[in-house]
Amino acid sequence: MSRTTRTVLLPRVFALADDLSGAAETAAALGLRGRIVLGPTTAPPCDGESVVLDLDTRQLAPEDAASAVRAALAYADGGVVLKKIDSLLRGNLAAEAAAYATGARGVVIAPALPVAGRTVREGVVNLHGTALHTTDAWRAERGAAPVSVGAALGGVPTRVVPLATVRAPEPALYDRLRALVAEGYHPVCDAETDTDLEVIAEAALRLGPGIRLMGTGGLAAALGRRLAKADASGAGFPGTDGERPTEAARDHSARTAQDRSTEADRDRSTRTDTAGPAPADEVSPAPDGTPTRPLLVVVGTAAPAAVAQIAQLVAAGARHLPLSAHTLTDHSTRPPLNIRTQGGRTPDGVTVVSIDGTHAVDPGAARGLAAGLAHAVAEAAHDSDLVLTGGETARRVLDVLGIRELLPLDQIHHGAVRCRTADGRRVVTRPGSYGGTDSLLRIARALRPGLAPPSDQPVAPPVPSAPLGEPT
């Protein structure tokens, strides 16, 4: 008797994030065909598709954030479910985690982000080897940093899975995760490397239906690599009964693998000290060779690092328009923003709008300032490609433009995610605290390869100021 061959349905991946830059980071890390949806959503992902939903809950009251998570989970109909959390444990983590764990068999938690120097040892997040709660990483937050992941999760029952178990020969990790879930606990896994995260993702997937994942972009990337490997091999996924792929399914796997390879090559081309040329379809030039749209960079933080990043971009010829916090919060004094110069466009079509960092900014004003910044740039942003730093700022700008979905393309550098809108514009989002001094310059040159290198003139030192607390 011959065995019936059935099509392998690629799993759905439904991911939740509490801000837009985190959602974009997750989508890029997954590396799967998918969309970023500016929530709320009204439909689950299709088979083989990843949907990353920005819940926009970072600045909400805890009970409202929990309600948003519960409402979103109604659309998690099968497949793999992932909750992206801040690598520094900020936001409404306890409330959202409790809502996320409700109805799940268990939640496997892995908050490490090795690429950014954020590791977990004995259930404690470390920033470049130093325990988070002993650093100043929470200087812009209202309270003190939690002493452990378990403490950050509040009343969610957790148990730490030490690094020794994560790295033990199979099936030690799987057995430990299964035992903890059976006892009603949600495992918090230590991890220091991407390999550790890949092992955790593999073991979590093997636990089968009802298991949800929670972690940073590092866990999302590990999950994406695991699913891509199974997709390309046609071996199926954990929980399937071993059905074999049809010719159509194998063709789909080959095509999606090729797409990922092309995007990986594109990503590598931009991960140099100076970003390489943008993909051929990134800039649609006019007959005279100039881009058809200006490039508007909106910086939603007054942190010293951002001031230094802006200085490099200005040294390369960009125009800088700093706006005072008072201007952004007082609508009666907000002037119309004109990013055009006499004679047509700004140099290379690049303008940077930021919050003036001359004076300290109250972290509690972050949401109001981001909204003010979005309204200030709204008119100019309507016909521009965009670079938006900080999840709160990015969401507010796209909200005023009525943009509800983004198609992720690649990363210019870690966390700087290039997307396409339905009307063909490019939008790059980046967490406020990510990137080196050359971050904005690299992003701008990836979108506008003709942008001049920085001038030889000395760049003014950054002006000390308090950050707005944009998420990471």
Query: What is the pLDDT at residue 450?
Result: 80
Query: What is the C-alpha to C-alpha distance for residues 223 and 382, in angstroms, rounded to an integer?
Result: 36
Chain-centroid distance, C-alpha 265: 20
Q: Residue 428 and residue 467: Cα distance in Å, rounded?
A: 21
Per-residue pLDDT averaged across 461-470, rounded?
36
The pLDDT of residue 37 is: 95
**Which pLDDT score is estimated for 361?**
58
Q: What is the pLDDT of residue 237?
A: 52
pLDDT-derived band of residue 304, with 50, 70 and 90 as boundaries? confident
Peptide bond into 347 cis (omega under 30): no
More confidently predicted of 141 and 404:
404
- The per-residue pLDDT for range 338-363, each reduced to its tens digit, is 665 434 445 448 999 998 866 555 65
Reply yes or no on whether the pLDDT at 315 is more than 60.
yes
Nearest partner of 111 among 218, 211, 16, judged by Cα = 218
State the SS3 of 22-84: HHHHHHHHHCCCEEEEECCCCCCCCCCCEEEEECCCCCCCHHHHHHHHHHHHCCCCCCEEEEE
Convert 77-93 to b/e letters by CB count within 10 Å (16 or more is b): eebbbbbbbbbbbbbbb
Residue 424: pLDDT over 50: yes
What number is the average pLDDT over the span 115-134? 97
At 229 the pLDDT is 83
- Give residue 12's pLDDT: 85
Question: Do 13-268 and 295-447 share a fold?
Answer: no
Contact indicator for 275, 450 with CB cutoff of 8 Å = no
Give the start-to-end residue ranges of the domains of the chain: 13-268, 295-447
Question: Strands 350-355 and 295-299, how do they pair?
Answer: parallel
CA distance 45 to 134: 41
Which of 95-104, 105-114, 270-279 has the lowest average pLDDT? 270-279
The predicted structure's pLDDT at residue 232: 66
Highest mean pLDDT among 245-254, 267-276, 327-336, 399-408: 399-408
pLDDT of residue 359: 59
CA distance 192 to 211: 23
Fill in the DSSP letter of residue 363. Answer: G
pLDDT band at 153 (very low <50, low <70, confident <90, very high): very high
Tell me what percent of the residues of the chain surpass a pLDDT of 90. 56
Question: Using CA atoms, how far apart are residues 125 and 130, in angstroms rounded to an integer?
Answer: 8
* Alpha-carbon gap, residue 244 to 276, rounded angstroms: 41
Average pLDDT over residues 264-275: 36
pLDDT at position 77 is: 78
Does pLDDT of 4 surpass 90?
Answer: no
User: What is the model's pLDDT at position 347?
Assistant: 44
Q: At what angle do helices 172-182 and 194-206 cross, to 10 degrees?
A: 60
The average pLDDT across 323-327 equals: 79
CA–CA–CA angle 168, 15, 115 (5° rounding): 50
- Tell whether the model's pLDDT for residue 47 goes beyond 90: no
Map tokens 């090559």 to a residue.
265
Q: What is the pTM of this model?
A: 0.80
Residue 13 three-state SS: strand
pLDDT of residue 257: 35
**pLDDT on residue 364:** 61
Angle CA 372–373–375, to nearest 5: 65
Lowest mean pLDDT among 99-113, 199-213, 285-299, 395-409: 285-299
Q: Is the pLDDT of residue 57 over 60?
A: yes
What pLDDT is recorded for position 245? 33
User: Which of 427, 424, 418 is CA-nearest to residue 399?
Assistant: 427
pLDDT value for 5 = 43
One DSSP character per residue, 146-180 reads PSSHHHHTTTS-EEEE-HHHHTSSTTHHHHHHHHH
Q: Which of 220-229, 251-260, 285-294, 452-461 has the least mean pLDDT?
A: 251-260
Q: In this model, does residue 162 exceed pLDDT 90? A: yes
What is 13-268's CATH superfamily?
Answer: Putative sugar-binding, N-terminal domain (3.40.50.10840)
The domain 295-447: what is its CATH number?
Answer: 3.40.980.20
What are the phi and psi torsion angles at 295 (to 5°)?
A: -110, 120
Please name the residues in contact with 399: beta carbons below 8 A apart, sequence gap of 6 or more.
38, 374
301 has which bridge partners?
none
Q: Which own/partner pairs from 456-462 qualify as long-range (CB within 8 Å, at least 24 positions apart)?
A: 457/315, 459/308, 459/311, 459/312, 459/315, 460/311, 461/308, 462/304, 462/305, 462/307, 462/308, 462/311, 462/357
Instruction: Judge whether 347 and 316 are in contact, CB under 8 Å.
Output: no
Averaged pLDDT, 208-234: 89
Which of 131-140, 217-226, 266-275, 316-325 is predicted least confidently? 266-275
Average pLDDT, the chain: 81
Tokens of 343: 């004679």
Q: For residues 181 and 367, give the distance between their C-alpha atoms in angstroms, rounded to a whole number.
A: 38
**Percent of the chain at pLDDT exceeding 70:** 74
